[in-house]
Chains A and B, each alone.
Chain A
Amino acid sequence: MSDKLKQIIDKQSEQQNLAIDHSDDIVQLVGFIIGEEEYAVPILTIQEIIKPIRWTRVPQTPAYVLGVFNLRGSVIPLIDLRLKFGLGAKKHNEETRFFVLKQGDEVAGFVIDRLTMAIRIKKSDIGPAPDTMAGDDSMIDGVGKQDDRILTILKVNKLLERDF
């Protein structure tokens, strides 16, 4: 009898541990496509996601800085991630979105090809960036694996950092 009881208790505590694991190590991300690959950023760094609107070109900037746009009275820089990642420019279409990311006082809009979905991923499923891309200068925070897909998780502070 006591053996059985013990078993039950063990099972319960096991489940509890699992539950704790669950809540502790889950990272919430939002995935999006640029070119052929799927990328993701932490959900809390996203201020909003909007459909493309008109922007104004700013001179003396690299090609990937498209310019600035008006987001309810604030002037916000617009960066084309395709160009930044060395892919060719692509005409904006129905699926194109502006990702407005915010960290501290830094805000910028990023053009992405297509949104995928909000993703909950276990921390243990996130590996470090490949050695060749790791380091402080890298924009890659880590690589997440879920089911059969691979997500490149980007460092938002690097994205928002001016590098020209």
Chain B
Amino acid sequence: MDEFQEILQDFLVESFELVEKLDEDLVELESNPEDLELLNGIFRVAHTVKGASSFLNFDVLTHLTHHMEDVLNKARHGELVITPDIMDVILESVDLMKTLLEKIRDTSEDSGIDVSACVARLDKVSGGTGEVQTPVSDAPMAQESVEEEELTEDEDEPDYENMDPDEIEAEIERLLQQRQEEDRAKREAKIAAGESVPAPPPSPDEVAQEQEEPKEEVEAESKPVPLTPTPAPAKKEEAVKSDVKAAAPAKRAPAAVEQTIRVDVKRLDHLMNLIGELVLAKNRLIKINDDVEERYEGEEFLEELNQVVSIVSLVTTDLQIAVMKTRMLPIGKVFNKFPRMIRDLSRELDKKIELVISGEETELDKSIVEEIGDPLVHIIRNSCDHGIEMPDERLAKGKPETGTISLKAYNEGNAIVIQIDDDGKGLDVEMLKNKSLEKGIITEKEADTMSDKEAFGLIFKPGFSTAAAVTNVSGRGVGMDVVKTNIEKLNGIIDIESELGVGTSLKLKIPLTLAIIQALLVGVQEEHYAIPLASVLETVRISRDEIYTVENRSVMRLRDEVLSLVHIGDIFEVERILDSSEHAYVVVLGLGASKLGLIVDSLVGQEEIVIKSLGDYLKGIEGVAGATIRGDGGVTLIVDVVALMQMAKGVKSTAMTDNSSQEQHSHEKTKADDYTVMIVDDSKTDRMIMRKALEPLGINLVEASDGQEALNILKQGEHNFDAMLIDIEMPRMDGYTLANEIKKYNRYKNLPLIAVTSRTGKSDRMRGVESGMVEYITKPYSGDYLSSVVQRNINFKSEFL
């Protein structure tokens, strides 16, 4: 019962959501009747509700939605134009659907509401005679015909066959009272019910049984009068219900309210974003704490600050994990409803099917769990209907009588794979092509050039169906279309493998979470890019002479393979002003069978990054999949590996062409103003003092007010500097950091850096040396001293004076 309740809950929540959306769509459709996309959407809602309600045995609802679907299907194929009259009928049926759903929510069953009038109108619209008896499809379901009989035959009082359970209940109540009056000795209601109910000739039990009979409900036959039906299989619900109500009314509680809250995924996303911000702030706090620690070593308040910082960072980390966890759910939640579905389907289709489930504990993001349910229902229904053959057919082919569908979930790298295998008849490539030709989905020419894999892909086209007849299970050609749309929405990939006569295997590869991926961060010049780690096979360090040019393309030898290379700078139009050393790093990207070596200047490291969209304005930039915000608050672009591989084909070999030649020029100094020295100091006065001291030499002087500015001037490459005078304490970027940054560039490796500072401590001097300073001038200094130090360092020739 619990399992059933869980499924029922899911069904109700989903259906209400769908119906709510349906209202909006229908209204829009009326003003825009030609919109095929909209029609398809509405049709899919009816289809989904029908599918779910049919395996939950809500016959009235199934009946209604089936007819709605017929009308909409006609409209979808252009056989019917949606007029306001037709829309009235459709809207009426939607209202009825809502009433039915509410009824189900309150009482767990859908009887007691008359849908026949509406169904008749729907039928009329879809071109029927207006008589509900008209068979709806080529293969009407057994339960449906029973349903229709029920609804159309004249209401005859004593005919229990034609009563809906509410009336039956009333009848039971009446009989009960009668009986109780007759025999007051029997006081317990249960006993009374048990004995009195079967007494009248067409007993309610028989009614119940007859309702079940078309489905060959074994348990109903073996247990004619179940008195304690609580744990009975949910399928028997209806049959048993009339009894239950009479016997133990308390046991039939309305569907219980779940002890969880459904939260809009947007809110969770927002929460994630906020936590991302918090993490950024925490990272900065830690960095500041380190700086403070260094500067005020030994101060008392440091301890306290340290404690606060560590608490904040601890809590932030926990919070991050907690929110991530709220979004993770085991996929078992989705898988749970399939055993029942398979059981029902196998009965409906007269096939023998066994379902094997594994990996149901695999966890994935909530939004994905919610989205994956529908596609899986459609896939499994398809496997049952089209995949698995009839038992005798299977025996004739030498297969076991019972077909097997296996449903597996497992982690693969940063993705989760859901695999659905069946050992049915497999996909027939020729048949797929022919069907598609017939329906005008592909052209003759396309069919000829199509590979098998592409042909398998045809089953995902809207309007495609291989079933000969429209049945309750499938055949309308919407299902697999839904699958593809939903999976693509999740950035997932569908892979089909099939062998005729042996079986079909469908693999859905879905990212673990939608928002966070592991990435390799690489640097080129001053820019950083993030490459999804899932596409990175390995990284290698090579020297320039390992790169060869073949037919205008750069290649390298990687073990036994030849790997074509492309420089990331060529793809992303990075200006290469400062060329790095003799060595380069190659990131080997793999995508399916193709490989590519991407040359980068540096490897920064592996990081978990949050994917953000670039927004509408910059949407669809080739080679860029999105952006992420890094710990320092900067934005880093995420590489779209698929696009990058395409782009690489068009890039000429410039991978490592030397532009060192330009570095050689202008080293010959012939006069004083061939020399250029940069002064970096945040104080204007200090810069002035230095300028005064150096101007008499007649050399060029360039000023910068902090490290960042100095670095930018260097990067612009307008000047060839012979030395730099650097203050240590500066805003934005201090002297040590600047020196470290400068030393990263090959071109400036030998540039003399002279510290000019008022810091005189020994440790300061040590740090200066460590960061690559060659001289250390302490303030105050004499102009002559400064001048002589500079002259010495730039090899200034005294004859220029």
A88 in the interface, Cβ–Cβ < 8 Å? no
What is the 8 Å Cβ interface bit string for chain A, positions 57-75, against chain B (1 contact, 0 not)?
1111100010111101111
Q: Looking at the complex, which of A37-45, A103-111, A130-138, A149-157 is the stretch in contact with chain B? A: A103-111
Docked pose: A29 CA to B365 CA in angstroms: 46
Shortest C-beta distance, B298 to chain A (Å), equals: 34
Q: List B residues 575-616 near A (Cβ within 8 Å).
A: 612-616
B92 in the interface, Cβ–Cβ < 8 Å? no
A121 in the interface, Cβ–Cβ < 8 Å? no
Shortest C-beta distance, A160 to chain B (Å), equals: 7
> A70, B635: Cβ atoms under 8 Å?
yes
> A65, B618: Cβ atoms under 8 Å?
yes
> B621, A61: Cβ atoms under 8 Å?
yes
Contact check: which of A59, A73, A160 meets B573 at CB < 8 Å? A59
A77 in the interface, Cβ–Cβ < 8 Å? yes
Chain B's closest residue to A107 (CB) is B615
> A69, B277: Cβ atoms under 8 Å?
no
Contact check: which of A59, A105, A108 meets B571 at CB < 8 Å? A59
> B635, A56: Cβ atoms under 8 Å?
yes
Docked pose: A59 CA to B621 CA in angstroms: 8
Chain A's closest residue to B571 (CB) is A59
Docked pose: A105 CA to B621 CA in angstroms: 19
Contact check: which of A75, A107, A160 meets B627 at CB < 8 Å? A75
Given the known interface contacts A58-B614, A70-B629, A160-B617, the answer about A75 and B635 at a Cβ–Cβ threshold of 8 Å is yes
> B634, A70: Cβ atoms under 8 Å?
yes
> A58, B621: Cβ atoms under 8 Å?
yes
Q: List B residues 611-654 near A (Cβ within 8 Å).
A: 612-619, 621-624, 627, 629, 633-637
A54 in the interface, Cβ–Cβ < 8 Å? yes
A162 in the interface, Cβ–Cβ < 8 Å? yes
B572 in the interface, Cβ–Cβ < 8 Å? yes
Contact check: which of B572, B622, B627 meets A68 at CB < 8 Å? B627
A76 in the interface, Cβ–Cβ < 8 Å? yes
Shortest C-beta distance, A74 to chain B (Å), equals: 7
> A75, B612: Cβ atoms under 8 Å?
yes
Docked pose: A58 CA to B528 CA in angstroms: 11
Shortest C-beta distance, A42 to chain B (Å), equals: 19
**B276 neighbours in A (Cβ, 8 Å):** 73
Docked pose: A75 CA to B615 CA in angstroms: 8
**B618 neighbours in A (Cβ, 8 Å):** 58, 61, 65, 68, 77, 162
What is the 8 Å Cβ interface bit string for chain A, positions 21-60, against chain B (1 contact, 0 not)?
0000000000000000000000000000000001111111
Docked pose: A157 CA to B636 CA in angstroms: 27
Shortest C-beta distance, B94 to chain A (Å), equals: 30
B17 in the interface, Cβ–Cβ < 8 Å? no
**B527 neighbours in A (Cβ, 8 Å):** 56-57
**B273 neighbours in A (Cβ, 8 Å):** 73
**A77 neighbours in B (Cβ, 8 Å):** 614-615, 617-618
> B617, A106: Cβ atoms under 8 Å?
yes
Docked pose: A61 CA to B622 CA in angstroms: 10
Chain B's closest residue to A74 (CB) is B612
**A67 neighbours in B (Cβ, 8 Å):** 635
Docked pose: A73 CA to B271 CA in angstroms: 12
**A105 neighbours in B (Cβ, 8 Å):** 616
> B612, A59: Cβ atoms under 8 Å?
no
Which of B277, B571, B627, B635 lies at the interface centre, i.e. has the most chain A CB atoms within 10 A of its CB? B635
> B637, A58: Cβ atoms under 8 Å?
yes
| Size category of the binding interface on chain A | 20 to 34
**B613 neighbours in A (Cβ, 8 Å):** 75
**A60 neighbours in B (Cβ, 8 Å):** 572-573, 621-624
Chain A's closest residue to B526 (CB) is A57
Docked pose: A131 CA to B619 CA in angstroms: 33
Docked pose: A64 CA to B613 CA in angstroms: 20
Given the known interface contacts A56-B527, A59-B624, A60-B573, the answer about A70 and B633 at a Cβ–Cβ threshold of 8 Å is yes
**B635 neighbours in A (Cβ, 8 Å):** 55-56, 67-70, 75
Contact check: which of A57, A74, A162 meets B617 at CB < 8 Å? A162
**A69 neighbours in B (Cβ, 8 Å):** 635
Shortest C-beta distance, A71 to chain B (Å), equals: 10
Shortest C-beta distance, A64 to chain B (Å), equals: 12
Chain A's closest residue to B635 (CB) is A56
Chain B's closest residue to A79 (CB) is B617
Docked pose: A67 CA to B623 CA in angstroms: 15
**A61 neighbours in B (Cβ, 8 Å):** 618, 621
Chain B's closest residue to A65 (CB) is B618
Chain A's closest residue to B712 (CB) is A91
Chain B's closest residue to A53 (CB) is B633
Docked pose: A74 CA to B280 CA in angstroms: 13
Chain A's closest residue to B634 (CB) is A54
**A54 neighbours in B (Cβ, 8 Å):** 633-634
**B612 neighbours in A (Cβ, 8 Å):** 74-75
Which of A59, A61, A67, A76 lies at the interface centre, i.e. has the most chain B CB atoms within 10 A of its CB? A59
Shortest C-beta distance, A137 to chain B (Å), equals: 18
**A108 neighbours in B (Cβ, 8 Å):** 615, 617
Chain A's closest residue to B277 (CB) is A73
Docked pose: A12 CA to B616 CA in angstroms: 53
**B622 neighbours in A (Cβ, 8 Å):** 60
Q: List B residues 540-576 near A (Cβ within 8 Å).
A: 571-574
> A162, B624: Cβ atoms under 8 Å?
no
Chain B's closest residue to A160 (CB) is B617
Q: List B residues 303-337 near A (Cβ within 8 Å).
A: none
Shortest C-beta distance, A108 to chain B (Å), equals: 6
**A162 neighbours in B (Cβ, 8 Å):** 616-619
> B624, A58: Cβ atoms under 8 Å?
yes
> B616, A106: Cβ atoms under 8 Å?
yes
Shortest C-beta distance, A99 to chain B (Å), equals: 14
Docked pose: A58 CA to B280 CA in angstroms: 22
Shortest C-beta distance, B632 to chain A (Å), equals: 9
Docked pose: A107 CA to B615 CA in angstroms: 8
Shortest C-beta distance, B557 to chain A (Å), equals: 29
Chain A's closest residue to B618 (CB) is A77
Which of A60, A72, A106, A107 lies at the interface centre, i.e. has the most chain B CB atoms within 10 A of its CB? A60
Docked pose: A57 CA to B637 CA in angstroms: 9
**A160 neighbours in B (Cβ, 8 Å):** 617
Given the known interface contacts A59-B621, A59-B624, A73-B277, the answer about A68 and B614 at a Cβ–Cβ threshold of 8 Å is yes
Shortest C-beta distance, A98 to chain B (Å), equals: 14
**B573 neighbours in A (Cβ, 8 Å):** 59-60
Shortest C-beta distance, B712 to chain A (Å), equals: 10
Shortest C-beta distance, A33 to chain B (Å), equals: 24
Docked pose: A60 CA to B620 CA in angstroms: 10
> B572, A59: Cβ atoms under 8 Å?
yes
**B637 neighbours in A (Cβ, 8 Å):** 56, 58-59, 68
Chain B's closest residue to A55 (CB) is B635
Chain A's closest residue to B574 (CB) is A59
Shortest C-beta distance, A162 to chain B (Å), equals: 5
> A56, B616: Cβ atoms under 8 Å?
no
Docked pose: A108 CA to B280 CA in angstroms: 22
**A72 neighbours in B (Cβ, 8 Å):** 277
What is the 8 Å Cβ interface bit string for chain B, positions 271-290, against chain A (1 contact, 0 not)?
00110110010000000000
Given the known interface contacts A73-B276, A73-B277, the answer about A59 and B623 at a Cβ–Cβ threshold of 8 Å is yes
Docked pose: A61 CA to B274 CA in angstroms: 30
Docked pose: A105 CA to B616 CA in angstroms: 9
**Sampled A-B contacts (29; CB under 8 Å):** A54-B633, A56-B627, A56-B634, A56-B635, A56-B637, A58-B618, A59-B571, A59-B572, A59-B573, A60-B621, A60-B623, A60-B624, A61-B621, A65-B618, A68-B635, A69-B635, A70-B633, A73-B629, A75-B614, A75-B615, A75-B629, A77-B614, A77-B615, A106-B616, A107-B615, A108-B617, A162-B616, A162-B618, A162-B619
With A59-B621, A68-B618 known, 10 other A-B pairs at CB within 8 A are A58-B624, A59-B574, A60-B621, A61-B618, A68-B614, A68-B635, A70-B634, A75-B613, A75-B615, A75-B629
10 nearest A-B pairs in the assembled complex, by CB-CB distance: A59-B572, A56-B635, A75-B627, A77-B617, A75-B612, A59-B573, A73-B277, A70-B629, A68-B635, A77-B618
- Seen from chain A, the residues whose Cβ lies within 8 Å of a Cβ on chain B are 54-61, 65, 67-70, 72-77, 105-108, 160, 162
